[in-house]
Every structure is written in structure tokens, then in C-alpha cells.
Chain A
Amino acid sequence: MNLKALKRLAPQLIAVFLIIAVIGYFWNNTRLNMEYLGMEFGYDFLSKAASFDIQFSLIDYDGSSPYFRAYLVGLLNTILVSVLGIIFATLIGLFIGVSRLSPNYLVSKLAEVYIEVFRNIPLLLQLFFWYFAVLRTLPLPENAISFGQSIFITIKGIYVPKFIWTNFNFFIISFILAIIVSFFIFSYAKKQRENYGKHFPAFWVSLGTIILFSGSGFLFGIVNLTFEYPEIYNLTETVFNYRGGVTIIPELLSLLFALSLYTSTFIAENVRAGILGVGKGQKEASSSLGLTPAQTLRLVVLPQALRIIIPPTTNQYLNLTKNSSLAAAIAYPDLVLVFAGTALNQTGRAIEIITITMGTYLTLSILISIFMNWYNKRIEIKEK
């Protein structure tokens, strides 16, 4: 064996040895400790009854459900708040990022102040501020702020009407069908444009298709939609509450406020960098080709800006998903609170529960980044 190969091999062998030694050391300690404390290792507890209640759940859950069900409730709540947060953060971020570039001095300064303020204050603090300082000042149920007697804003949450569907499946199937059809319409329009230079109004046609398809159920009386309005009732002599409808709990609201306002500042900066990153020559070239300003923005600037915007924005989406775990601090029943909090305290299975929780977040992160990488690859410059 020559010296060069040895020089490569030796450090690696040492590294492997060190890693194994460290892991082995911790493993051994853990084993001894668990033996000493009379703890056992295993995932069998997942099927035992959880016997604790969860305040807010998207699926059926009660105390007799197993821990695995509690885990699912937490996971779904995490996904719910992340998805909503991502949508709001993107919208606000886009708006603020574009405002930041406005030629209007006042608008761009206000956007800058917004960005600096919300970016430089810790997320947890913002969360507490919304939850303990702002949403606690809302009125009691009997003095609720109401919109058209169907939406009620109170300290206990926002009550909105519930959709009651008959034959919901028919509606959703026709809706999905319409989406598929409009996908074909778009590819047809693209072919027409690229091969024959003909313009086909794909957007309007597919919008019409979607309305027609999903409306057909209503038209023929197969699908029906009614609303169940929340109504006030006496819990006791002086305490009021609402029943019926859907309750958006204040924990979810404050988490959404905090997450979307905080993340939107980072997205706004990405948007700004992306738009600034498109060369001036591109805009000039497109207007000299006779494109209107709107067309320039839609067909020339945005596609190029998106390429710069998407990778860092993916990171922000990932951050938002991970930051949603701060929910534990205000008792929104997300994965961390339900599973790494309550379930861990009840079962004492620290290793199992924390590995499952971490593994779940890891999987979510990897899934989002795979999806965004795929999307990124789709829109990247294809050099010919």
C-alpha cells in the first residue's frame, strides 16, 4: 500500500472509530440509565389509550383514542397552520416587497419600516404579543363584533358559518375533473402559440370550464350547500358562548399572525432582490419589442425574477414550518405540544417521542425541499 492511499485512509478510519466510540458511549450510558430507572424502550405505547383531551382537532379524537391518533391530530394541526401561514406570508411578502420598490417615497419607506420592525423582533415575542396583548382585548361573547350576524369576533375566538354539503363528493370530483380539463386547455393553448403563433384565451376558457363543471351539480340539484350559523347561548346565568359554526381558536389566529408577519419580511426582501436582479436591459428590450408594461412584467420580468426568488423563499417556507412549533408556547395543540409535551409527560418515553417528533419535522422539511427543488428545476433556464 502506498503512502498516498494511507494518507487518505487513516483519517477516515480514525473518524469512523471516533464516531462509533462516541455513539457507543452514549448508547451504553443510556442503556444503563434506563435499566437503573426501570424504563423500557419500545413503540408499543403508541397503541395505548392517550386519555388526555385536545382542544382543537381536525379529525375525530377523544380521550380513549390511542397515542398514535393524538400524534396525527398534532401533525395535522402543524400542517394546517404551516400551510395557512405560507399562503399569508407569501401574499403579504409579495405586497411588501413590491411596495419596497415603489417609486413613491412614502410607500417604500413604510414598507422598509414594516420590514425592519417585524424582522428584528423575536418570533416568540411577537407570538406572545398577539396572543396575550392583542387578542385578549377582544370583547366577550355577549358583546361580540359581528359581521352580518354570521361572523362573530370574540375573545374566545372567531366564529364563522360552517358549510353543510350534500353530495360533497360529486362536487369535488367535478372540480378535480375541471382542473384536469383546464390543464389540457393550457397545453393546447401553448401548442397553438408555439406552433402556429395563434393566441388562445386559455385562462378564460378554463375559468369557464371550472365554473361550469363545479356549478353543474348545483344546477341540477345534486349538490347542495347550506350554512350553519353560530348562535349565542347561555352557558350559565351570566356566561355566554356560541355554538354551531366553525370556531377559529385564538391560539391558531395569533400563531398565524405572528408566523405570517414575521416570515413575510424575509419573503419581501427576497422578492425585492429578485426584481432588482432582473437587468434593466431586459425591460428595455421587451418594451422595444412592443410589449405592454403589463406583458413585460408577466412575460419577461416575473419569470426571471422568480428564478432568483424561489430558492431563498423555499428556505423561508421551511423555516415557517419549523417555527410553527413555537405553538407549544401558547398552547396551540400542534405536534410539539401534543406529542413532545403532553404525551411525553404522561408516558415518560423521552427517546421514542423525541425521535418521532424530530423525524416527522425532518420528513416534512425534506418533502418541502424536494417539491421546491422539482419546481425550481422546472422553471430554470434551459440552455439550448
Chain B
Amino acid sequence: MNYLDNIIKPKQANQNTLVIFGSILILISFLDVVLLSVFDINLTGSSKGISFFLPLLLGFIGMYYIRFDHTNFPLINRFNKSLNIDWLNSIFTLLSIFVLLKFVPLILNWLIFDANFIGTAKEDCTGGGACWVFINVWLKRFVYGLYPDSETWRINLAFILLFVTIGASYLAKPKFKKYIILFLLFVFPFIGLSLISGDVGGLVYVETNVWGGLALTLIVSIFAIIFCFPIGVMLAMGRRSELPVVKYFSVGFIELWRGVPLITVLFMAANMFPLFLPEDVFLDKLIRCIIGIILFEAAYMAEVVRGGLQSLPKGQYEAAKSLGMGYWRMHLFVILPQALKIVIPGIANTFIALFKDTPLIFIVGLLELLGMIDLAKTNPKWLGFAAEGYVFAALVYFVFCYSMSRYSQKLEKRLSTER
């Protein structure tokens, strides 16, 4: 009886032996899973359907024996504290590790070890993994769309200019910073647009229906971001206005756009907008879609900004008024700078959402990154590479969205002021 008691209730006195025994059990269970999933060697001899069960049991017993409040092994202490808190947690830990051990090698094999990187045609892909040759060959199309090869330097130049100006705005003295940002917001978009579309200064005109790829994604998002922001701020101010006409118009406008999916807005931009315009005016489909996106996102932006306006204490309004400021001066110099600062995370989230919404223009026939991948994967010479294309696109979008959200978190911390 005493013997059994020792096994069921681990004693502090035996802990050194028990910890070593438990660790060995855990290691065996991990080793079994690794061997089974990577090398296909069956150590414990359990059948395939329950191949996880025996290691799980071994690991569970092992973890039971090392769960002491304090041991002489610092590593075990840390393990107990973060991964082996109680019996339920030990099961979670084991399951997570097993799933990782099972799937990470599979994914890595597909992504890297069995994949083919070099080549020019589908036949160069001989491994069982991903065929990155596909991406390699089509990369230029994915970035520039169907834009003529001889003219792609214009897109490059536009984006280099953009990054240089953004860099300059960081390094410049605060006095000039203002002007650089104003230039970026109000002058640069049009310089960039005329550079890319051409027809000015001896540049060849490039129709918008050959624009595409990542470049188009970025063009659409940058334009939409720049224009949806001021409209959103105006709508938010309108919604809080004391003038009933302005207020109800803003409310109606905001709720209308927020209540419908972007896709119907794009359908509207593609099919209905042309009817609204006089016969002799022709608006490009791309511009119509960008206008649709701007109006749509402006409504979301308005709600975010409204949150900031509402969170400001009334005293700020009263103080500004008592200094003799009018409505516009009060908002421009006192209210908005504070309100916008509060809602920076919200604004950043709206921008990220906007960026993630740009692939939708594919549905009305504009070939941004996702559209180009669709075009490439349906090319008769390159059938069967959907997964590679989508993984690549996912990676690109992930890098953009994740870095934007990280940046906004940093900005939020830097700008946070004690109240």
C-alpha cells in the first residue's frame, strides 16, 4: 500500500528521481511523435489511428511526476510554471506540441525542403513540394500587372519618390515637415498618377485596364486612404453638428454606406455610376471604383473619428470658445488634434481594413495582385499552382497588414499623453 501511495502521490523527498524519470518519459513521448511524423518510424508500435494516444499518456504521466512546487532544476521549474501548471494544462501543452511536431515538418517540407526554386517552366518542378518557379516566372506580372515592360520604370519611380518623400518627412526639421506632409497628401498623388498613366510630358499613355498587380493594390489603397480621411472627418463633425439638416444628412450618409457590403458598392460603381454622368463625360472604371471605396471607407472613418470627438471633455470646447475661436478654428486647432490622437488605433485599423478590402476590385474586373494570380493560375501552361500563388499573395498581404498594425501600436504608445 505504501508503495502504491508513493507512485500516486509524488513525495518531495523523491523529487530528484521522479523528475528525471518524468523527463525521460516526456522525452520518449516527443521522440516517438517526431520519429513517426518525420521519419515514419513507429516506436511504440501503436496503430496509426491512435498513434498520438500512447505518447500522450506517457507524456501525461511524465508531466505528473515533474510537477513539484520547487525542484533543483531551474529549467524544470520554468517548464512547470509556464507549461505544466495543472493536469489540464499539461494535456493542452502536450497536444499543442504534438500538433506542432506533426504539422510543422509537413509545412516546412512543402514550403522549402521539397520545393523547387530554380527554373523557367512547369517541367522544372519535380519535387513534391511547392513550385516557386511559378512565382519566379510571374513575379513581374504580379508586381506590375499587364503594364508594358518598357514603361515599368515609371511605376518604380513613382514609388521611389513616395518613399523618399516619406523618409525626408522623418528627417526634416519640424518647420519643413508640415510642408512635406502637405505635399505628400495633396500634390504627390497627382504627380504619381500622371507619371503612371502618362500622356503628359512626352510619356506614353498607358490605359488603366492594363494596370494591375501589387502596384494597383497600392495605388488604390493610397488614394483611398488619402481621400477617405478628410471626408470621414467632415462627416464625423457633421454628425455632431447642431444644425439638423447637416446632422441628419451625415447620419443618413454614414449609415447607408455602413449598412451595405463593399461589393455592392463596387457593383454600383461599375454598373450604375456611368448612368449618373452626362453622356459626354467618361469616368474610368478604376476611378469609379476608387470613388466607391473612398465613400465606403469614409463612413467607417467617420464613426472612428466621432468616437474621438465624443471622448473629449466638454471643457475643451468651452475653453476654445471662451478664447473667441469660431467653429472651424476651434475644431482645427483645439478639438481635432486631440480627438484624432485618441483614435489613432482606430484610424490605423480602418486603413488596414481598407487595404484588405482592395482585392475586392477583382470582382468587378480590375486585376490587382489577387486578380493577377487568378490570371496566372488559369494560364494553360501553369495549371495547378493555385496554392503557391495564394500563399505568396497571403505572405505579401500579411507583411503589409502586420507591419501597419505593429507601427500603429508603436505610434499609439509614443503619442499617448497622460490625462
Contacts from A to B (Cβ < 8 Å): 8, 11-12, 15-16, 19, 26, 29-30, 32-34, 36, 102-107, 110, 116-117, 119-126, 128-129, 132-133, 136, 322-323, 325-326, 328-329, 336, 340, 344, 350-351, 354, 357-358, 361-362, 365-366
A133 / chain B contacts, CB cutoff of 8 Å = 386-387, 390
Which among B267, B272, B277, B358 has the highest number of chain A CB atoms within 10 Å?
B267
How distant is A326 from chain B, measured CB to nearest CB, in Å?
7
How distant is B249 from chain A, measured CB to nearest CB, in Å?
6
- With A32-B279, A34-B275, A351-B275 in contact, do A121 and B398 touch (Cβ < 8 Å)? yes
How distant is B212 from chain A, measured CB to nearest CB, in Å?
16
A322 / chain B contacts, CB cutoff of 8 Å = 260-262
How distant is B48 from chain A, measured CB to nearest CB, in Å?
15
CA distance A57 to B374 in the complex (A): 28
- With A120-B405, A132-B390, A362-B256 in contact, do A110 and B96 touch (Cβ < 8 Å)? yes
Q: Which of A36, A117, A358, A366 contacts B264 (CB 8 A)?
A: A358
Indicate if B89 sits at the interface (CB-CB under 8 A).
yes
Asked if A125 and B92 sit within 8 Å, CB to CB, the answer is: no
Indicate if B197 sits at the interface (CB-CB under 8 A).
no
How distant is A271 from chain B, measured CB to nearest CB, in Å?
18
Indicate if B370 sits at the interface (CB-CB under 8 A).
yes
Q: Which of A120, A122, A328 contacts B359 (CB 8 A)?
A: A122
CA distance A120 to B403 in the complex (A): 10
CA distance A384 to B53 in the complex (A): 55
How distant is B387 from chain A, measured CB to nearest CB, in Å?
4
Asked if B370 and A361 sit within 8 Å, CB to CB, the answer is: no
Indicate if B397 sits at the interface (CB-CB under 8 A).
yes
- With A121-B397, A124-B362, A361-B261 in contact, do A350 and B272 touch (Cβ < 8 Å)? yes
Contacts from B to A (Cβ < 8 Å): 82-83, 85, 89, 92-93, 96-97, 100, 242-246, 249, 256, 258-264, 267-268, 271-272, 274-279, 352, 356-360, 362-363, 370, 374, 377, 386-387, 390-391, 393-394, 397-398, 401-402, 405
- With A107-B96, A125-B370, A362-B256 in contact, do A357 and B264 touch (Cβ < 8 Å)? yes
Asked if A329 and B272 sit within 8 Å, CB to CB, the answer is: no
Asked if B402 and A120 sit within 8 Å, CB to CB, the answer is: yes
A110 / chain B contacts, CB cutoff of 8 Å = 96, 100
Q: Which of B93, B246, B356, B374 contacts A123 (CB 8 A)?
A: B356
B100 / chain A contacts, CB cutoff of 8 Å = 110
Asked if B243 and A124 sit within 8 Å, CB to CB, the answer is: no
- With A351-B272, A357-B264, A366-B259 in contact, do A103 and B245 touch (Cβ < 8 Å)? no
CA distance A36 to B280 in the complex (A): 12
Beyond A12-B246, A125-B390, 8 extra complex contacts between A and B, CB < 8 Å: A30-B275, A107-B92, A110-B100, A121-B394, A121-B397, A124-B362, A129-B391, A133-B387
B357 / chain A contacts, CB cutoff of 8 Å = 122
B363 / chain A contacts, CB cutoff of 8 Å = 124, 326, 328-329
A103 / chain B contacts, CB cutoff of 8 Å = 82, 85, 89
A-B contact pairs, 24 of them (CB 8 A): A16-B245, A29-B276, A32-B278, A36-B279, A104-B82, A105-B82, A107-B89, A117-B398, A119-B401, A122-B370, A122-B397, A125-B397, A126-B394, A128-B374, A128-B390, A129-B394, A132-B390, A326-B360, A328-B363, A329-B362, A350-B275, A361-B261, A362-B259, A366-B259
How distant is B135 from chain A, measured CB to nearest CB, in Å?
14
Asked if B244 and A12 sit within 8 Å, CB to CB, the answer is: yes
- With A11-B243, A125-B394 in contact, do A354 and B272 touch (Cβ < 8 Å)? yes
Asked if B401 and A12 sit within 8 Å, CB to CB, the answer is: no
Asked if B275 and A124 sit within 8 Å, CB to CB, the answer is: no
Q: Which of B261, B271, B272 contacts A336 (CB 8 A)?
A: B261
CA distance A275 to B296 in the complex (A): 32
- With A26-B276, A105-B82, A361-B260 in contact, do A344 and B271 touch (Cβ < 8 Å)? yes
- With A120-B402, A129-B394, A354-B267 in contact, do A104 and B93 touch (Cβ < 8 Å)? yes
CA distance A323 to B272 in the complex (A): 21
Asked if A124 and B402 sit within 8 Å, CB to CB, the answer is: no
How distant is B368 from chain A, measured CB to nearest CB, in Å?
10
Asked if B245 and A15 sit within 8 Å, CB to CB, the answer is: yes
How distant is A108 from chain B, measured CB to nearest CB, in Å?
10
- With A15-B249, A132-B390, A329-B362 in contact, do A361 and B259 touch (Cβ < 8 Å)? yes
Which among B268, B352, B362 has the highest number of chain A CB atoms within 10 Å?
B268
CA distance A183 to B146 in the complex (A): 63
How distant is A90 from chain B, measured CB to nearest CB, in Å?
20
Asked if B246 and A325 sit within 8 Å, CB to CB, the answer is: no
For the complex of A and B, list the 10 residue pairs with the smallest distance between their C-beta atoms, beginning with the closest: A322-B261, A120-B401, A133-B387, A362-B259, A105-B82, A325-B261, A365-B259, A12-B245, A132-B386, A122-B356
- With A132-B377, A325-B264, A365-B259 in contact, do A120 and B397 touch (Cβ < 8 Å)? yes
Asked if A120 and B89 sit within 8 Å, CB to CB, the answer is: no
Kindly report which residue of chain B lies nearest to residue A11, judged by CB atoms: B243
Asked if B272 and A340 sit within 8 Å, CB to CB, the answer is: no
Q: Which of A106, A124, A129, A362 contacts B360 (CB 8 A)?
A: A124
CA distance A106 to B93 in the complex (A): 6
Kindly report which residue of chain B lies nearest to residue A326, judged by CB atoms: B263
CA distance A68 to B178 in the complex (A): 56
How distant is B251 from chain A, measured CB to nearest CB, in Å?
13
CA distance A188 to B166 in the complex (A): 67
B97 / chain A contacts, CB cutoff of 8 Å = 106
How distant is A106 from chain B, measured CB to nearest CB, in Å?
5
Kindly report which residue of chain B lies nearest to residue A137, judged by CB atoms: B387
